[in-house]
Amino acid sequence: MTSNLPFVLQITLVGMGLVFAILGLLALGIALLTRLVPERPARTPPPSPIQQEQARAAAIAVALALASQARSTARPIIPPELTIVDAWQLGMRTRQMTQKGNMGRRRE
């Protein structure tokens, strides 16, 4: 088995070398293509009069919403602090939920 070790290592090195050489060629090709091919500017058609009116209406709606939000007296909801339920409370709640769940079922 030890007589095959140099041959196995040689095949492994050649295989790994080929993989890295191909990856390097791909990276080089991608770099060349990105430098040689210029990016095209995005062509956007000019907005139609209807689109301009819709944009104005949206801007007015946002301005009105922000103004009404500034005058609002609503306060943010603060969630209650989490409490730790001990085993006794958990058992009692489970028993109550089981009893309430069985009330609506018909017995056959």
Residue 32 CA to residue 26 CA, distance in Å, equals 10
Please indicate whether residue 100 or residue 60 has the higher confidence score (pLDDT).
Answer: 60
User: Is residue 21 in some structural domain?
Assistant: yes
Contact indicator for 42, 50 with CB cutoff of 8 Å: no
- Give 31's pLDDT tier (boundaries 50, 70, 90): very high
Contact indicator for 90, 82 with CB cutoff of 8 Å: no
What does DSSP assign to residue 75?
A: -
Mean pLDDT of 28-52: 88
Q: What is the pLDDT of residue 103?
A: 62
- Is 80 exceeded by the pLDDT of residue 102? no
- Give 104's pLDDT tier (boundaries 50, 70, 90): low
Q: What is the pLDDT of residue 40?
A: 82
Residue 30, domain extent: 1-37
| Residue with token string 């603060």 | 78
User: Is residue 15 in some structural domain?
Assistant: yes
| Residue with token string 């609002």 | 72
What spatial distance separates the first Cα and last Cα of the chain, rounded to whole Å? 75
Torsion of the alpha carbons at 43, 48, 50 and 51, rounded to the nearest 10: 20
Share of the chain above pLDDT 70, in %: 92
Number of domains in the chain: 1
User: Is residue 108 in some structural domain?
Assistant: no
User: Is residue 7 in some structural domain?
Assistant: yes
- Is 80 exceeded by the pLDDT of residue 52? yes
User: Could you read off the pLDDT of 4-14 as tens digits, one per residue?
Assistant: 888 999 999 99
